[in-house]
Each structure stands twice: as C-alpha cells, then as structure tokens.
Structure 1
Amino acid sequence: MASFITPLILLFISAIFLFLHRRSRYRRLRLRLPPGTLGLPFAGETLQLISAYKTDNPEPFIDHRVHRYGPIFTTHVFGEPTVFSADPETNRFILLNEGKLFECSYPGSISNLLGKHSLLLMKGSLHKKMHSLTMSFANSSIIKDHLLVDIDRLIRLNLDSWSDRIFLMEEAKKITFELTVKQLMSFDPGEWTETLRKEYVLVIEGFFTLPLPLFSTTYRRAIKARTKVAEALTLIVRERRKESAKEEKKNDMLGALLASGNNFSDEEIVDFMLALLVAGYETTSTIMTLAVKFLTETPLALAQLKEEHDLIRAKKSHPEEPLEWTDYKSMAFTQCVVNETLRVANIIGGIFRRAMTDINIKGYTIPKGWRVFASFRAVHLNPDHYKDARTFNPWRWQSNSETTSPGNVYTPFGGGPRLCPGYELARVVLSVFLHRTVTRYSWFPAEEDKLVFFPTTRTQKRYPIIVKRREESRPSNQTWKGKEEESEIVD
C-alpha cells in the first residue's frame, strides 16, 4: 500500500508545481516582465550573486545579465523574485517614487539588528521629519561652524597614535566611529567609546548572515552585541533626560531628539542613534581606505594631491594649526579625488525596494510585491557614461574634462526622499583625512593585499601599509611604482 501511495504523492506534488509554473508563466506573459531567469527553485541566482561579490571584480553578475538581457532584467535572489535595474532613468524613477510606488525592503537580519525605529525603516511623515532633523546636524553651516574643528582634532589625535605599520581599515573605522559618537552624544574618545565600538563590529557582522540564531553563531553573537549596545545607549539617554530637566543642554543629535517635543521613548531614540552610528561608521571608513589605495596605485594623482595640501600647510603658522572652512573650500583637486573614489567604489552599490502596486516602466511591468534593485555601481562603471569607466581617474572631474554628471548618472549617496543625510559630512571627513595623511606621511603597501569591494565584514581585508613621517620618508628621487604606470614622486 505504501508503495502505491508514494507515487500518488509525487504525482500530486508534480501537478501542483505544474499548475504554479503555468500560472506564473501566464502572469509573466500578461504582465510582460523584464527578460531574465529565476534560476534554481528556491535558491534562484543567490549563489551566483554572492560568489561574484566575493571576487576582486564584483561586476560580472550584472555585466553578464545586462549583456544578455539589457539594463533591466529579472532574477531571483535572497528568496524573492527581483527586478535589477542598471538603467539611470529607471533608477531615478525608483528613487523619486519612494513611498508612492515603492517602499523600503531589507533582509530580516538588517531590520532586526537596526531596530524598527531606525531611520532606514521609518516611513511616511515620521521618516520625513527625522530625515530633515538628521540633515540639520550635518549640513554645510553646521560643519563650518561646529563640526570641522572636531573632525580635524579627532583625525589628528588618531594619526598621532600610528605606528610604522598599521591596518588602515581599522584605523579609519576608529576615526569614523569616534567622530559619529561625538556628533551624536558629545563623547570624546576613551575607554567607553572603544568598548562600544568593539560591540558594533559584532553587530555589523550579523548583517551578512541568516537571521536564525539557532543555526548561525555569527547572528546569535550579533544579537547579544546589539543588546549590549542598546543597554549602553539607554543609560546615556536616561542620564541626558535628567540633564535636560535641569536645563543642561548639549548641541548634539541626542539633545535635539530630547528637545524635539515628540516625546520619543528611550527605545525609539536608541534605535535611531544605533542606526546612525552604523551608517557613519562603516561606509565612510571604507571609502577612506579605498581612497588611499587608489591614490597609492595612481602616483601622479597622489603627487598632485600632496602639492595642493602642502600649499595649504604653507600658509599656516605651524604644522598642527587647525583647518578652516576656507581651507576646505580651496581643495579643488581633493574634490576630484573624492568624486572619483565615490564613483569607482561606491559602498552603497544600490538600494532594494518593493513594488507597492503593478508598475509599468520602459515597456515592462514590475508586479506588486516584487523586489527591485536599483544598481548605482552599474551606472557609475558603464563606459557609456564615463570614459574608461573602471579606471580611477580624478582628472575627469575637472571643469575642462569630458565628465558631466546629471543626477541620475552620479548617485553615490542615493537620491529622492532617502538621500543620505550625511553626504556633505562624509565628503568633509574624507577631505580632512586626506589632508592630514598626505601632509604628515608617505606610505606604501606592507604586502600584496587586494581589497574586495563588497565582501562580508568578517573577510574584509584590512589593507596594511608602512607609514613614515614625511621628513623621514624616502628620498625625493625614489620612484614609486603604481599599478599601471611609474612616476617619480617628490615628497
């Protein structure tokens, strides 16, 4: 009897799959989905995507499909059918229709670790209000009047501790974390901030795992670290509430939240600040590291950058005199380096959204409930938009170059209602870091260490370099070899 039932069960299951396949095929034909393939059952093409992004060149996943299907294609990743866009007009459409046709959609691991009250997950009028508040603490006026002094001071303080051999990624992360803590809660570097940062490392590792504590040690450890971080921040929030009651106010993000009149709970404030610490910590530090890497491999750019910053130092009465806003605004070539670093190595490679209704675009239909991924990197590295797009060339951003960058082609900080509120602050931090680094030190890689653009935190290379103070560095006739060329660098 059992031998008879088994074939019936298999036949029944096969019939269901056939029905669903035909129904899906009918819907695909009726809606005219973008071309592509959903890959294997359940897994889709997730393994191909992950394997591509763990190589030195993460682009083949999109490159291959754009070549075969065009700039808009269908795939199946992270358990859901997804429409990928490498088309700048479509990306802009997705960004500008946030909250209208599309809504945020992130993997459960990220949502759980950031918290339901994080800016990333807020929607509607609350997101608009909190986004505006965040931008008000990172705009040009605030940076000029208050933050620039702290940025310059904290960067100098960290560079003072550099030994002859450092892991640049780790040093950059210390800098960005301390700057963010200062901006959010007015804390200077110390034992408390360093303890908090170490817990943050564990939290961020959990972003790249399955949100299943029973099966993932990394995710379980991340949840525990998240609890510790939340407890530490809750104590600070409660203490500051007492200070506010005594009219002892501080000009930082926490002070603004407590004084906003919205009566936020401790949990809401903690979630909000925890997510901002993640945003300020991880992305900017990676960009700082990659900027140094690209300059090391492009000696002519490094030489021109040193010349620009040596001129700024020459106008100061002593080497450690703080930078002023006019100094930052005079860094013309530095901004070319910043632009090009953001273009080539945009850490925000793209954004996931979910269609709130059936959406017609470019002759295709994105079904309601499907995820979409707007790829910024695919546009940035497209030779149709930038000549020799995959070559680091900061001169392309000079006024007499061929580069033009309409808003839908150059989007390192996203766009629309969810434009990164710290975009100006990130540019200033990178510029000041480059100024202090090139005027103090010469360096070269300690070993062959190819940085992978989008690996997990656990496997990310730390980029070890040998640093020497400029007066102790190599003789001026020493030739440094870049990746593609050789140039004589005069320190």
Structure 2
Amino acid sequence: MDSLFYFLFLGCLSVLIFIIYRTSRHRRLRLPPGNLGLPFLGETLQLISAYKTENPEPFIDERVNRYGTLFTTHVFGEPTVFSADPETNRFILQNEGKLFESSYPSSISNLLGKHSLLLMKGSLHKRMHSLTMSFANSSIIRDQLLVDIDRLVRLNLDSWSDRILLMEEAKKITFELAIKQLMSFDPGEWTESLRKEYVLVIEGFFTVPFFSPTYRRAIQARTKVAEALSLIVKERRRESEAGETKNDMLGALFAAGDGGFSDEEIVDFLVALLVAGYDTTSTIMTLAVKFLTETPQALTRLREEHEEIRAKKREGEALEWSDYKSMPFTQCVVNETLRVANIISGVFRRVMTDINIKGYTIPKGWKVFASFRAVHLDHNYFKDARTFNPWRWQNNSGATSPGNVFTPFGGGPRLCPGYELARVEISVFLHHLVTQFSSWTPAEKDKVVFFPTTRTQKRYPINVQRRNHVKC
C-alpha cells in the first residue's frame, strides 16, 4: 500500500512540475494578448453561444476590438491563437505540413473518421487531395458532371409545391448530386434513408459533445452511415475485381495505383466528402436566395442574365458549359454570398514548432485558428463589409486585394478540391430557380443564424409561384 501511495505521489509531483514548467515557459514567451477563460472549458461556451446570434462574428469581433487581430483564447480543451489577419492566415495556409498541421477537436474527428481528407496528413493527404482535384476539375465538370447537375436540379424543382422549406430542398439537391458523383446512385429510397441519417450527423458538429444527446445521436447516425457505405464499397470492389468499372469517384479510388485504398479509408473519405458537398453548398444556395430576396435590384439583374441564356435555347434543352461561362453576374452573386455568409468560418491547425508571428511567439503544440469570415467581414478590406452587394465583384471594385483576403475555400495544399463544382451547382440552381418561378416570398420571418441550433432556423420556408409557361 505504501508503494502505491509513493507512486501516486511521484505521478502527481511530475504532473505539477510539468504544469509549472510549461506555465513559466509560456510566461517567458511573448504570447498574443487574450484570456484563457475557465479551467479546461476556457471560452468554449462563449464561442458556441455567440454563434446563436444574428451577428456573424460576435466572438471574434469582441476580442479583436479588445486585443487586436491576433489573440489568445482557450477553446475545445486547448489553448488556441485566433487570427483575423489576412497575412497571418495566408502564412498558416501556405505552411501546411511545414510549420502547421491539420488538427481538429476530437468531437469533429469522431464524426468525420480518422481517414477523412480533412484529417489526413503528409503523402496520403497529398495523394488523396490530388485525386479529388482531378475528379472535380473544370474539364470533368464540363464533360461528365454538368449533365447530371442540370438534370437533378430540374428534377427537384419540378416537384416543388406552392410552399417549400428551401433549406431542406437544397439539401436534397446537393446530397443527391454528391451521391451521384461519388457512387453513381440516382435518387431513391436508399439515398433518402441515408440522407436522413446525415442530417443527424451534421447536427453533431454544432453541439458540445459532453453529455449531449444530440452528439450521441450524431455518433450513432455516423455508425449507420458508415455501415451502409461499407456494404456499397465491398460490392463495388467485387465488381471492380471482376472487371466492371464505373466513371465515378468510387471507381477512381479503386483504380488508384500504389496499392489502392482500404475499405475503411474509402468509407471515411466518402463520409467526409458527403459532409462537404452536402451541407455547405446547400446552405450557400439557401442564403443566396435569402439575400437576393432582400436585394430586389440584384434579383432583377440576375433574372435578366438567365432569361438571356434561356431565350437562346430550345424548350427542355439542358444547360451547357458555354451557358455556365456566360453568367458573370451570377458569379458576383455567388462570390458575395460566400463572403457575407462564409459557411467555412476558418480552419484549425496545430503548431509544429515555436513560431514567431507579428512580434508574438506561438508555442509548439498550441492550436491556431485562421478565421476567413472575420477577414471577409472587415471594413478595412471590403467597403460596407456587412452589406450584401454583388456589384462589388464587378472589376473587383469592392475589395482592396481580393486575391489575399477572399478565401472562402481555404488555400494552400488544403484548398477545397470541390470549389469549382460547388460554384457550378449553385449557378445551375439559381438559373432554374429564376427561370421556372416568377416570384417567391419568405413564408415566415427567418433569421440568419451562423451557428445553427434548431431545425426551424435552418429550414427557411418560402412561398413560390411557378410560371405558367416555362421553357426548361
């Protein structure tokens, strides 16, 4: 018994010495100003509660005003330096794998899977990222994917009644598109059943995991999704080995050289891609409609652009790549929606070695958060930054240096591989919306809540009026 107490005493003493050493070392370093908050919890609760408001960046706004664009906090159990500075953000993105490595809270990792593209590192990430980029580049979209995007968007809009829940309808569209592009499945009972489980998975990203029934449901749903995808992967692998091939992402994974990928790696990869393609793009679609509704001049200009495209086509004729490339104002609308309501608020990275930035030192092992949205909503870089104004993107008149400050899809080695695909899907959706429906109005007063917490806030119900004679 005495020896047990002795070892316990040594263990506690070792932990205490380590904490004292680390604290004294951090005091010697010139850390960015800030507040670490409560023990263990830090400022996590303040971060989450802040995003239940209508203000896009309340947590960061308050601290930038107090400490500047680089500040220290403590969230999700770890000391973290937040950056609202575009130069620092660019430095973080460009030094991926050298000074910083991808690192997200375990609550997110558990939902995505350890082999998701978001969490991969080193050569495996480089290989998988390159493969994904090659399957979603402009030529592939033009020659293979656009026809399905146009068909599935029209199929969904044709089913709309007089009153729809826009967010849910947009999610159906993007999920069906993702399933088609990844695994060649057309909409059906299986895809809809899988989508309902995904709804639960997505909700898990917006909760505190500790003692949360929502998070537990998300983990259970994630298990069901993985099991369903595992069956598909096994079946497709057998078909591939028998010489049957399909021209989709799953087929590309089986055809990859260097020994290919395991079933577990492929399932995690598909889970993460479905999350990326399903939730973010549908949210941008919904908010684009909301912002256009609140900006009638922009909606009128957008409608004129798409009426010109439709007038040159036969009834029932699908959109072609040349049509997509003749939507300049649509691209302004997409850019502005991405800027004002950037769904990817920023990225977490772990510091691999002590780093000096802007006169401060960030210790090895700490996390940094490069906030894209904080820069996008900064009046120093965008005039009237919190106002929806798509005209600012004509000749880039509204941004001082758009190449450096506009990063809705990240940057560096982890640039979102589906950025062009997302733009095409949103553009095609807007085309069919404004050419098939003469008007739409919000059915209920809706708030833009940037950290969604309830199903009602995410639905955005609208009343739609279909045109009597539509050439689509």
Which TM-score band (shorter chain)? Answer: over 0.9
What CA distance in whole angstroms lies between the structure 2 residues aligned with 1:236 and 1:16?
Answer: 50
> Which letter does structure 2 place at the counterpart of 1:273?
L
Alignment of 1:196-275 (within 5 A): 196-211=194-209, 215-261=211-257, 262-275=259-272
What CA distance in whole angstroms lies between the structure 2 residues aligned with 1:140 and 1:405?
Answer: 25
What TM-score, normalized to structure 1? Answer: 0.89
1:330 and 2:326 matched: yes
What is the CA-CA distance between 1:457 and the residue it aligns to? 6.1
Q: Which residue of 1 aligns with 2:3?
A: none
1:298 and 2:295 matched: yes
Task: After superposition, give the CA deviation of every residue in 1:201-245 in whole Å (9 maximum; x if it has no partner).
Answer: 112222233445xx3322222222222211211111121122212
What CA distance in whole angstroms lies between the structure 2 residues aligned with 1:267 and 1:403?
Answer: 44
8 Å contact kept, 2:206–2:451: no
| Percent sequence identity over aligned pairs | 81
Classify the secondary structure of the residue corresponding to 2:370: strand
> Which letter does structure 2 place at the counterpart of 1:119?
L
What CA distance in whole angstroms lies between the structure 1 residues aligned with 2:16 and 2:237?
Answer: 61
Classify the secondary structure of the residue corresponding to 2:239: helix
Q: Which residue of 2 aligns with 1:126?
A: 124
Q: CA separation of 1:18/1:229 partners in 2, compared to 1, >3 Å: closer, same or farther?
A: closer
Candidates 375, 381, 392, aligned match of 2:377? 381
Alignment of 1:69-468 (within 5 A): 69-211=67-209, 215-261=211-257, 262-318=259-315, 320-399=316-395, 401-441=397-437, 442-456=439-453, 458=455, 460-468=457-465
Which runs of 5 or more residues in structure 2 are unaligned?
1-12
What CA distance in whole angstroms lies between the structure 1 residues aligned with 2:396 and 2:214?
Answer: 50
Classify the secondary structure of the residue corresponding to 1:408: helix
8 Å contact kept, 1:336–1:397: yes
What is the CA-CA distance between 1:307 and the residue it aligns to? 0.4
Classify the secondary structure of the residue corresponding to 2:342: coil
> Which letter does structure 2 place at the counterpart of 1:351?
V
8 Å contact kept, 1:109–1:209: no
Q: Which residue of 1 aligns with 2:65?
A: 67
What is the CA-CA distance between 1:42 and the residue it aligns to? 2.4
Task: After superposition, give the CA deviation of every residue in 1:166-214 in whole Å (9 maximum; x if it has no partner).
Answer: 00000000000000000000111111100110111112222233445xx
What CA distance in whole angstroms lies between the structure 2 residues aligned with 1:83 and 1:381?
Answer: 19
> Which letter does structure 2 place at the counterpart of 1:422?
G
What CA distance in whole angstroms lies between the structure 2 residues aligned with 1:243 and 1:43?
Answer: 49
> Which letter does structure 2 place at the counterpart of 1:339?
N
What CA distance in whole angstroms lies between the structure 2 residues aligned with 1:191 and 1:19?
Answer: 59
Task: After superposition, give the CA deviation of every residue in 1:18-71 in whole Å (9 maximum; x if it has no partner).
Answer: 988875664334210001111222222222211211101132221121111111
What CA distance in whole angstroms lies between the structure 1 residues aligned with 2:37 and 2:44?
Answer: 9
> Which letter does structure 2 place at the counterpart of 1:429?
E
What is the CA-CA distance between 1:432 and the residue it aligns to? 0.4
Q: CA separation of 1:242/1:114 partners in 2, compared to 1, >3 Å: closer, same or farther?
A: same
Q: CA separation of 1:472/1:324 partners in 2, compared to 1, >3 Å: closer, same or farther?
A: closer
Classify the secondary structure of the residue corresponding to 1:398: helix
> Which letter does structure 1 place at the counterpart of 2:221?
A
> Which letter does structure 2 place at the counterpart of 1:298?
T
Task: After superposition, give the CA deviation of every residue in 1:343-367 in whole Å (9 maximum; x if it has no partner).
Answer: 0010001011111111111100001
Q: CA separation of 1:209/1:448 partners in 2, compared to 1, >3 Å: closer, same or farther?
A: closer
What CA distance in whole angstroms lies between the structure 1 residues aligned with 2:23 and 2:163?
Answer: 59
> Which letter does structure 2 place at the counterpart of 1:465?
I
Paired positions, count = 456
> Which letter does structure 1 place at the counterpart of 2:111?
L
8 Å contact kept, 1:451–1:463: no
What is the CA-CA distance between 1:466 and the residue it aligns to? 0.3
RMSD across aligned positions (CA): 2.1
What CA distance in whole angstroms lies between the structure 2 residues aligned with 1:400 and 1:176?
Answer: 29
What is the CA-CA distance between 1:271 and the residue it aligns to? 1.0
Alignment of 1:10-21 (within 5 A): none
> Which letter does structure 2 place at the counterpart of 1:33?
L
What TM-score, normalized to structure 2? Answer: 0.93
Q: Which residue of 1 aligns with 2:4?
A: none
Alignment of 1:37-76 (within 5 A): 37-76=35-74
8 Å contact kept, 1:91–1:408: no
Which runs of 5 or more residues in structure 1 are unaligned?
1-14, 474-491
Classify the secondary structure of the residue corresponding to 1:233: helix
Q: CA separation of 1:372/1:458 partners in 2, compared to 1, >3 Å: closer, same or farther?
A: farther
Classify the secondary structure of the residue corresponding to 2:405: coil
Q: CA separation of 1:170/1:89 partners in 2, compared to 1, >3 Å: closer, same or farther?
A: same
What CA distance in whole angstroms lies between the structure 2 residues aligned with 1:128 and 1:211?
Answer: 30
Greater shift, 138-147 or 221-230, is seen at: 221-230
8 Å contact kept, 1:205–1:458: no
